[in-house]
Amino acid sequence: MTTRDTATWITEALHGSFRSSYRADRVLFDTETGQQRLVLVDNAIFGRMLSLDGVTQVTERDEFIYHEMLTHVPMLAHGQARSVLIIGGGDGGILREVLRHPDVEQATMVEIDAGVVDFSRQWLPTVSDGAFDDPRLNLVIADGAAFVRDTRDRFDVVIIDSTDPIGPGEVLFTDSFYGHVQRLLNPGGVVVTQNGVPFLQGDELAGTMRAFRALFQVATCYLVTVPTYVGGPMALGFGTDNTDLLNVTEAELAARLARLDFAPGYYSPAVHRAAFALPRYVEKLVEPD
């Protein structure tokens, strides 16, 4: 583990022919967890920034956008979720948003790397905001693909907060993984996935949608713009056999949101509905001609 006080530039090279750089005013951590390389830096715009294997995962400044949209769109569309499964999400942001829902009786979170959880609790406490201490949490340190293959539990909502399909996250983008997820959904349940930036990662979204079309009556995605996930809006996959989940009115979403007793920073019922209006280039990835 190294700590450096001298400002430097860190370049993210996820997209091959396109790179983005952030100034690290201070490198707080640079270490190997045993599963992946973890780096935490301070940036004047984004605050603390966590990267895994050179790819930005979460920042203090814009994490609320991603976490609110990946969580509240499926949760409020469903409206009666009691049991929720989170795959990944070791920083605790998705867990924080899930536990805002008073109807949730248990949130099972499966994270492959205990080091990410421990690190995030200590160094990014505002992201989880106490969620790891909630008695409704069932924290499982295990491989997410193995968990969904073997568990006998069933869930109303499954949220796949994975890294990109490299390293430990690669297995979470396979057809067999999605098939196991479909099996463990309760009737009327819904799964959502992190599917990257389709302008730069179109194959990632297309692969998930191919699997979803074989598994679900509704196989689509919705969009969210997160500043540090560069290259255009991010796609979040949405799979369910309950076609009614796409037709919940703004008024009903607003009524369900009011029960949570918090003011979102990004999510709103109008944004929820509009997020499913896809540009043509994304539509072609979701439903090829």
- 8-59 against 63-286: fold identical: no
247 exposed, middle or buried (CB, 10 Å; 0-12, 13-18, 19+)? exposed
Per-residue pLDDT for 259 more than 90? yes
* Architecture of domain 8-59 in this structure: Roll (2.30)
- Tens of pLDDT, residue by residue over 135-153, are 999 999 999 999 999 999 9
Mean pLDDT of 232-249: 97
Q: Is 200 helix (H, G, I), strand (E, B) or coil?
A: coil
Phi-psi region of 140 (alpha: psi -120 to 50; beta: other; left: phi over 0): beta
What the block records as the tokens of 154 is 């069933």
Domain boundaries, the chain: 8-59, 63-286
Say what the pLDDT of residue 10 is: 85
Residue 25 is a catalytic residue: no
Place of tokens 């540009």: 279
Say what the pLDDT of residue 164 is: 60
Mean pLDDT of 276-286: 97
Residues 6 or more apart from 283 whose CB is under 8 A from it?
none
Q: What is the distance between the alpha carbons of residues 203 and 38, in angstroms, rounded to a whole number? A: 26
Distances (CA, A) of 245 to 38, 123, 150, 242, 272: 37, 37, 28, 6, 12
Reported confidence tier of residue 1, pLDDT bands at 50, 70, 90: very low
Is the Cβ–Cβ distance between 98 and 84 less than 8 Å?
Answer: yes
Q: What percent of the chain has pLDDT over 90?
A: 77
Say what the pLDDT of residue 168 is: 46
Say what the pLDDT of residue 36 is: 78
Is the Cβ–Cβ distance between 225 and 65 less than 8 Å?
Answer: yes
Is the Cβ–Cβ distance between 86 and 159 less than 8 Å?
Answer: yes
CATH of 63-286 among 3.40.50.150, 3.40.50.2000, 3.30.950.10, 1.10.3720.10: 3.40.50.150
Reported confidence tier of residue 115, pLDDT bands at 50, 70, 90: confident
Place of tokens 């899930």: 98
Q: What is the distance between the alpha carbons of residues 104 and 98, in angstroms, rounded to a whole number? A: 8
Per-residue pLDDT for 6 more than 80? no
Q: What is the distance between the alpha carbons of residues 6 and 30, in angstroms, rounded to a whole number? A: 14
Residues 6 or more apart from 129 whose CB is under 8 A from it?
92, 96
- Tens of pLDDT, residue by residue over 141-187, are 999 999 999 999 999 999 999 866 444 444 555 778 999 999 999 99
Q: How far apart are the first and last CA of the chain?
A: 50
Reported confidence tier of residue 128, pLDDT bands at 50, 70, 90: very high
Catalytic, out of 161, 164, 175, 261 = 161
As a whole number, the mean pLDDT across the chain is 91
Say what the pLDDT of residue 19 is: 87
Report the run of H or E that residue 116 belongs to, with start and end.
helix 114-123
- Tens of pLDDT, residue by residue over 12-57, are 878 878 888 899 999 998 888 777 788 899 999 999 998 888 888 8
